[in-house]
Structure 1
Amino acid sequence: MKTAAHLLKLKVLQNQHVHSIDPDNMVLDALKVMAEKNVGALAVIENGQVVGVISERDYARKIVLQGRSSAGTPVRDIMSFPVVTVSAQQCIEHCMAIMTDSHLRHLPVVENGELIGLLSMGDLVKEATLEQAELIRQLEHYIRGH
């Protein structure tokens, strides 16, 4: 099975870079970055370390539903933490299990304490689906004896 590193390489080839924000920035700033970059989450970086993740879901549940101001609320007040991370060598199955067990939709990938990418559940499901389709193709080929 492929690893987190493999998926990150595919994202780089598709010009999908990891985007981040400082925890002291306002939530409105995070929303602007997410809209501009067309992403649903940002890694929150403080002193070079991943300290959390802020997502559209965090905004909806912790700002909108609570009647708070996105212009006056710092990211650190609504980000999801403690952050769960994986190394680039983790297999996709393990990443999916972590995300499922921890109810996460975004998983930071860290090497030597540094953020190298952010995987979404969609990234993992897409790759698992492609792998299953290839396995089915190979089995059909084998059964037909070609």
Structure 2
Amino acid sequence: MKSVKHLLDAKQARIISVTENSSVLDALKVMTDKNISAVLVMQGALLSGIFTERDYARKIILQGKSSKDTMIKEAMTANPISIKLTDTIDYCMELMTEKHIRHLPIVENDEVRGMVSIGDVVKFIIADQKQTISQLESYISG
């Protein structure tokens, strides 16, 4: 069974974050610059939340708030669901499906190690299945 560590090893691990005192507009600029749809919210080295496009739509736009004047701590999802390096990819998929979330921070011993998205998980599963098919084809023909 493949784990989050396998996925993280195959992916460029980047920790892109803002602080709780950043404005929503600043977070959106980071997300745009990095072409991502979620950013971690950190207080020092500790994870305090996550801010996603969904948070922006529901907590800023639909509430008529200003992105420039609203701080991330008012719009983020505090204490997000996180995963560990030893968790399986199947577990991540189940968690994302059940909780209707698209991003999972990876936290080990209070240290943020990265984040995986639903796209990362699906891409990893497809690559793993292609490798299995290739190995089976070699075994059968060989």
Please confirm whether the aligned pair reaches a TM-score higher than 0.5, indicating the same fold. yes
Q: Deviations over 1:71-122 (max 9, x none)?
A: 1111111112331111111111111111111111000001110101010010
Distance 1:11 1:133 in 2: 17
> What is the RMSD of the two structures over their aligned residues, measured on CA atoms?
1.6
2:2 corresponds to: 2
1:25-49 Cα deviation digits (max 9, x unpaired):
1100100111111111111112422
- Aligned pairs, how many? 142
Which residue identity lines up with residue 54 of structure 2 in the other structure? R
What amino acid does structure 2 have at the position aligned with 1:8? L
Report what 2:28 is aligned to.
31
Q: Which amino acid aligns with 1:4?
A: V
Letter in 2 for 1:93: D
Partner of 1:22: 19
Gaps of 5+ in 2: none
Counterparts in 2 of 1:136 and 1:10: CA distance versus 1, 3 Å: closer
Whole-angstrom distance in 2 between the partners of 1:49 and 1:88: 17
Task: Give me the whole-angstrom Cα distance separating, in 2, the residues matched to 1:40 and 1:9.
Answer: 21
Q: What is aligned with 1:42?
A: 39
In the superposition, the TM-score normalised over structure 2's length comes to 0.91
Corresponding position of 1:11: 11
SS at 1:51's partner residue? strand
List gaps (5 residues or longer) in structure 1.
Answer: none
- DSSP 3-state at the match of 1:132: helix
In structure 1, C-alpha distance between the alignment counterparts of 2:10 and 2:33, rounded to whole Å: 21
Find the aligned partners of 2:62 and 2:25 in 1 and give their Cα distance: 15
Match 2:137 to one of 116, 137, 140: 140
Which aligned runs of 4 or more in structure 1 are off by greater than 4 angstroms?
none
Task: Return the letter of the residue paired with 2:68.
Answer: A
Identity between Structure 1 and Structure 2 (%):
44
For the pair 1:75 / 2:72, whether they are aligned, the reply is: yes
The normalised TM-score by structure 1 is 0.88
